[in-house]
Amino acid sequence: EAQVTQNPRYLITVTGKKLTVTCSQNMNHEYMSWYRQDPGLGLRQIYYSMNVEATDKGDVPEGYKVSRKEKRNFPLILESPSPNQTSLYFCASSLSAGVSYEQYFGPGTRLTVT
Amino acid sequence: TQLLEQSPQFLSIQEGENLTVYCNSSSVFSSLQWYRQEPGEGPVLLVTVVTGGEVKKLKRLTFQFGDARKDSSLHITAAQTGDTGLYLCAGEGRGDYKLSFGAGTTVTVRA
């Protein structure tokens, strides 16, 4: 089944404790992206990747890191999480960039930073 | 980032009624998408509209892109409980591939 998977689905952590949210897709997609969703603000892009070893900042990249060493994986790293990073996070992938290519979203990771 | 405003924020209707949600911006978009998101899941693409004035139909859902490419609407005819969800619009800016999302309209269809 074609899908985007994220782990963990739920995470409660404390300020400053490094964490990684994994994202994997099995559709051989080149374009991958991370978003955060907050009430009243919609989805905001954190980072995106056009292909392996090609990552770039989205609209809200501060406090986050990403890497794209393999085509299928695009982990999101929070080196020193803070309470303002409490949010619902989505990974997405598509064949290429642009709306001509349907973007598939993962199920989301709900992160709480205390 | 281009701002997309969706209205209303919440909408609760009885099964069988019609509803319309709106997506407005002061910016021009090269294309616009509508997604539906159910609790505990990621957004799922419903439609992409690319031409000003374009109307697309998906069963009971009708999507329209404004002539000036700054706004869009989603109309649902004879709503069903399965239409319940968060409806998001997203616009692609001219000259780039970046998507700007609206905050969404939460639709609840009561049986």
Tell me the shortest Cα–Cα distance from B53 to chain A, in angstroms: 18
CB contact under 8 A, B41 and A58: no
Q: Please tell me which residue of chain B has the smallest CA distance to A101.
A: B48
In three-state secondary structure terms, A83 is helix
CA pair distance A33, A61, nearest whole angstrom: 12
Nearest to A42 among B50, B88, B97 (CB): B88
Longest alpha-carbon distance in chain B: 44
Are the CB atoms for A97 and A69 separated by under 8 Å? no
- Name the burial class of residue A17, with classes exposed (0-12), middle (13-18) and buried (19+) by CB atoms within 10 angstroms of its CB: exposed
Which amino acid is residue A88, in one-letter code? L
CA pair distance B90, B56, nearest whole angstrom: 16
Nearest to A105 among B4, B43, B98 (CB): B43
pLDDT of res. B57: 97
Mean pLDDT of successive 10-residue stretches along chain B, which has 111 residues? 88 97 93 94 95 95 95 97 96 80 96 96
Examine residue A107 and say whether the peptide bond preceding it is cis (omega within 30 degrees of 0): no
pLDDT of res. B12: 97
Find all residues with CB under 8 Å of A32, minimum gap 6, and list them. Answer: A23, A25, A48, A49, A68, A74, A91, A92, A93
CB contact under 8 A, A4 and B42: yes
Residues of chain A with a CB closer than 8 angstroms to some CB in chain B: 4, 35, 39-45, 58-59, 90, 92, 97-100, 102-108
CB contact under 8 A, B92 and A99: yes
Substitution target in A9, A29, A44, A99 with the highest count of B β-carbons within 10 Å is A99
Residues of chain A with pLDDT under 70: none
Torsion A102-A107-A109-A110 (CA) sign = positive
CA pair distance B88, A43, nearest whole angstrom: 9
CA pair distance B88, B35, nearest whole angstrom: 5
Chain B hits for A106, Cβ within 8 Å: 42
Chain B hits for A105, Cβ within 8 Å: 42-44
pLDDT of res. B10: 96
Which among B42, B100, B40, B45 is positioned nearest to B70, based on CA atoms?
B100
Q: Please tell me which residue of chain A has the smallest CA distance to B42.
A: A107
The token pair that represents A11 in the structure block? 């995470």
